């Protein structure tokens, strides 16, 4: 039986005093971070980003990712995961505006961003940790969401019965830092109910 600790859209939002993890990491949630610009950014990202669906390798099998992706960032900041290597496209004006807002509140100068487009409830993200060597020892990852809300799950890597759950809403910002990627896996599960498009941007620092 899983132990769920749930945080709603109106849950703790103070930074840095409201760490949503009980131990082994830090996660902070800002549900209305892009309240004024969210609709505009959502439409522009759908139109401007060079979305594509790529195959990945999971346990030796090649499968198409259950979502569309794109990789943007500074020149030379490539990123490898699940058997693929992504070369960065140049920042768009929209991405740069979003990044500057995220940089300001986090105090981090992000140099890359992985974008995911979830077309419907069938698109998902499996359990994983962002612990690739390019990200360094204790990576800071800022996750911005636009469009349809989706459940976001975290579970402890060594105690998979400990699961945290929250809803990532339109215009929200989720920040993961410290030891989080060592000890906590995260996922976006499939949902059966009809849902619309969601776009997620995870800003990273590639060393």
Determine which helix (DSSP H) or strand (DSSP E) holds 39, and give its type and residue range: helix 38-48
Give me the pLDDT at residue 15, please. 54
The yes-or-no verdict on residue 10 having pLDDT over 50 is no
What backbone torsions phi and psi does residue 181 show, to the nearest 5 degrees? -75, -10
C-alpha span between 44 and 128 (Å, rounded): 29
Give me the pLDDT at residue 59, please. 63
Q: What is the CATH number of the domain that holds 47?
A: 2.60.120.590
The closest alpha carbon to 169, from 198, 193, 141, 202, belongs to 198
Determine which helix (DSSP H) or strand (DSSP E) holds 99, and give its type and residue range: helix 93-106
CB 34 within 8 A of CB 101: yes
Give me the pLDDT at residue 140, please. 97
Give me the pLDDT at residue 183, please. 98
Q: What domain range is 116 assigned to?
A: 3-204
Residue that wins the pLDDT comparison between 18 and 33: 33
Min mean pLDDT across 60-69, 89-98, 197-206 is at 60-69
Give the tokens for residue 172.
């929200």
C-alpha span between 48 and 123 (Å, rounded): 21
CB 133 within 8 A of CB 87: no
Give the tokens for residue 74.
């500074």
Residue 195 contacts by C-beta under 8 Å, 6 or more apart in sequence?
120, 121, 148, 150
Q: What is the mean pLDDT of the chain?
A: 90
The closest alpha carbon to 115, from 168, 152, 71, 82, belongs to 71
Residues 22-45: pLDDT tens digits? Answer: 999 999 999 999 999 999 999 999
Give me the pLDDT at residue 55, please. 72
CB 148 within 8 A of CB 173: no
CB 141 within 8 A of CB 130: yes
CB 88 within 8 A of CB 39: no
Per DSSP, 90 falls in state P
Cβ burial 1-21 (10 Å sphere, 16+ → b, else e)? eeeeeebeeeeebeeeeebbb
Give me the pLDDT at residue 11, please. 39
Q: Which residue(s) pair with 201 in the sheet?
A: 115, 144
What backbone torsions phi and psi does residue 135 show, to the nearest 5 degrees? -90, -10
Give me the pLDDT at residue 2, please. 41
Structural domain tally of the chain?
1
How confident is residue 12, by pLDDT bands cut at 50, 70 and 90? very low
Give me the pLDDT at residue 18, please. 85
Average pLDDT over residues 172-177: 97
Residues 102-160: pLDDT tens digits? Answer: 999 999 999 999 999 999 999 999 999 999 999 999 999 999 999 999 999 999 999 99
């Amino acid at each position: 039986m899983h132990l769920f600790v749930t945080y709603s859209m109106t849950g703790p939002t103070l930074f840095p005093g409201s760490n949503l993890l009980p131990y082994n990491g830090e996660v902070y949630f800002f549900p209305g971070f892009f309240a004024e610009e969210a609709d505009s950014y959502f439409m522009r990202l759908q139109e401007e980003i060079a979305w594509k669906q790529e195959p990945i390798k999971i346990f030796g099998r090649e499968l198409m990712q259950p979502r569309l992706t794109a990789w943007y960032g500074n020149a030379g900041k490539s990123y490898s995961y699940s058997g693929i290597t992504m070369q960065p496209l140049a920042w768009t004006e929209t991405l740069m505006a979003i990044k500057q807002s995220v940089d300001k509140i986090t105090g981090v100068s992000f140099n890359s961003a992985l974008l995911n487009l979830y077309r419907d409830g069938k698109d998902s993200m499996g359990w994983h940790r962002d612990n690739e060597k390019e990200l360094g020892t204790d990576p800071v990852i800022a996750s911005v969401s636009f469009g349809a809300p989706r459940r976001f799950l975290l579970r402890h890597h060594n105690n998979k019965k400990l699961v945290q759950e929250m809803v990532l809403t339109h215009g929200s910002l989720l920040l993961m830092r410290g030891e989080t990627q060592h000890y906590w896996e995260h996922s976006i599960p499939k949902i059966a109910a009809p849902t619309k498009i969601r776009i997620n941007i995870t800003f990273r620092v590639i060393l």
